[in-house]
Chains A and B, each alone.
Chain A
């Protein structure tokens, strides 16, 4: 017969200081793990909302990054009339030739500059990106050095606010608007007229990439293949969503470091849990003897003490989740592709479950030996102990 769970619960309550301290140690371990997972998940969410399944990103053959890709104006002229590209309301193909480069912006109260993406776009490029909306000011005019900055940037960098002049490649640019991207990566970019950006960076021939839109998601896949197979074009294509999904690699160093730290901390906390449970077993020697006399088997003693350790760790896991919750929605940034990308921590229910499971695993390892020690006690000597 099993010992009722309420016996363990009451024991945990009686030793509340020890219980709480051990659980808090486990909670911190879980909190570190969850914070790292929340960071990676937040990046995933941002990158997932950045791409549109109808968009096809065209880059140099074998190109993996817009920043180092090359597409000439001549190639773009051919690409524009490639079959399978949707037409916009003005009857023109939905295709935008774009130039991507970087500038360094200085954040408030920081001495070092951060790299920020500058994107020269065509009017079609603005129309195609449905997630990008102007939240203040107006769009830039063609043929003038005017720029619209992403909301994350204008929030963070005083030099990138509306009405300010920004020094870019070789001249000053007037900031005329602020755009938001419904959580997408574009909120961390600065946009201007592609021809102006090209002139300012002295790049008349080579642009970076082109974005084209297919009528729907199913034809987009076909468009990727037909552009890639077109030997005359000599360009590579991939779905915009795939491109952004690949960018999550940039968080890998942080992810691996975080998981490594959490595992080491878990080893430390499982030793601590072991300590607590050994003390519990030692203090309750007589109780264990009594339970045995009452007819509880060795196995049920083992299960009972092991469950107590699991309960203790589970409590730690839950506290860990609570500790991390305030982090949800806090903005941070990582470097992706050599430039800053702002996004919010995202604590998912899945990772919280994973955190509690992690804690329970840690508790069951830590509880096994003390529980076995409890079960091995001889009835008579256990009863005699004080």
Chain B
């Protein structure tokens, strides 16, 4: 530890090189930070309190196959279930479907239950009541309102495809959510009204609110057992698992993240190794002098390893800070809606980034450091390079 000032002074000797190395590591580390955060949001994180209380029930065959509405009453009777809400993907066309932003997600739901299922969304009480009491009302997320400039009282026309017909909804509420809220909800009664008799009474999914996160797997199993021998067998999973499954339709996201992270990490390793090799090569004579003064090979090894670690930790810290900015962007992007568990600042991820930076620094400088610590004094002093 008492050599810390020496290490810092050494690393600051060639300022330009150190700064360039820190910048290079920092830029790469910020990518790594974003990817670690996304990976952990998908596969490692525990769902947030509210999310942990929600299960999604769908048809075992696929999301494109409906479930009978009658299941709702049976699910309500299962112990531990507090509320069951119908949630059906409406699809439909807003203006021109060829323009990507017009294809925002829209769901038909039960207005009275929506904000019970999603208590983390905030909406003024009067707007909520208006949504519940008016059959053609809809509520939209703040992001959607901003995208199109929708205000309370505006009308949004939709042409149905899965549910044929022309519908017009009045915006009665705008809710705020922490993640992306590019979404629209309306009353399923309004849609049912327009459907022929034999098409009514079918739903995409049931959102189930349970009493305790600890019971989620037991309740999910109980729901699936209830319908195992019916015409439409169900698949019940946590909301988080449902979202990850939905996202896997985009391709093998997991493999994508792992491969890019590996490439980025290897690049940082190369950059750092290169820098350390260059700076050690310049200082061979100096190492000889230090040894003459009585520094042991172990201390010399420590000095060089420490210098590399200091540089890459600086890069790692800067990279992590940039990554939090990028993550904020990811959270507001349409992707953010799929990543409810994404946290912009997470001490654990910060610790992982710094630990990665330290180990990259140590590994990359091991070869030049060993070389320097083992060099015989006479040879080192004779070096002219």
Contact = CB atoms under 8 A, between A and B. Distances in A.
Interface of A: 17-18, 21-22, 24-25, 28-29, 31-32, 35, 60, 62-64, 67-70, 101-104, 112-115, 167-170, 201, 249-250, 253-254, 258, 261, 264-265, 267-269, 271-272, 274-276, 278-279, 283, 332-335, 338-340, 386
Contacts of A69: 161
Nearest to B103: A64
A102 B20 CA distance: 52
Contacts of B30: 264
**What DSSP secondary structure best describes chain A's contact surface?**
helix
Contact of B161 (A29, A68, A249): A68
Contact of B62 (A115, A261, A334): A115
Contact of B27 (A112, A268, A275): A268
Given A70-B164, A112-B244, A104 B62 contact: yes
A68 to B, nearest CB: 4
Nearest to B233: A167
A170 B231 contact: yes
B213 interface: no
B294 to A, nearest CB: 27
B267 A25 contact: yes
A275 B263 contact: no
Contact of B20 (A28, A167, A264, A278): A278
13 contacts: A17-B277, A21-B270, A32-B263, A64-B98, A68-B161, A115-B249, A167-B61, A254-B256, A261-B260, A272-B271, A332-B251, A333-B251, A334-B251
Interface string B220-249: 000000000001100100000100110011
A21 B367 CA distance: 14
Given A62-B93, A64-B98, A68-B161, A101 B270 contact: no
Contact of A335 (B97, B249, B260, B384): B249
Given A25-B267, A70-B161, A335-B251, A32 B27 contact: no
Contacts of B96: 62
A86 B275 CA distance: 69
B293 interface: no
A275 B270 contact: no
Given A62-B159, A275-B20, A276-B274, A269 B31 contact: no
B167 interface: no
Contact of A62 (B97, B267, B270): B97
B72 to A, nearest CB: 20
A101 B30 CA distance: 42
Contacts of A267: 27
B295 interface: no
Contact of A64 (B97, B231, B235, B278): B97
A2 B98 CA distance: 56
B273 A253 contact: no
B278 A68 contact: no
Interface of B: 16-17, 20-21, 23-25, 27-28, 30-31, 60-65, 91, 93, 96-98, 100, 159, 161-162, 164, 231-232, 235, 241, 244-245, 248-252, 256, 259-260, 263-264, 266-268, 270-271, 273-275, 277-278, 335, 384-385
Residue with the greatest number of chain A CB neighbours at <10 A, chosen from B17, B31, B62: B62
A202 to B, nearest CB: 9
Nearest to B252: A332
B61 A333 contact: no
Contacts of A271: 20-21, 23-24, 27, 271
B381 to A, nearest CB: 15
B270 A268 contact: no
A274 B274 contact: no
A254 B250 contact: yes
Given A29-B267, A103-B61, A169-B65, A340 B17 contact: no
A143 to B, nearest CB: 22
Nearest to B65: A169
A279 B25 CA distance: 18
Contacts of B248: 112, 114, 335
Given A63-B161, A276-B274, A168 B24 contact: no
Contact of A338 (B16, B61, B161, B249): B249
A31 B27 contact: no
A294 to B, nearest CB: 23
Nearest to B95: A62
Nearest to B364: A21
Nearest to B266: A28
A253 B17 contact: no
A275 B17 contact: yes
Given A25-B270, A338-B249, A168 B61 contact: yes
A63 to B, nearest CB: 7
The 7 closest A-B pairs by CB, nearest first: A335-B249, A271-B24, A334-B251, A102-B64, A268-B27, A102-B62, A68-B161
Given A112-B244, A261-B31, A67 B64 contact: yes
A168 B59 CA distance: 11
B204 to A, nearest CB: 12
Given A28-B263, A28-B266, A62-B93, A102 B251 contact: no
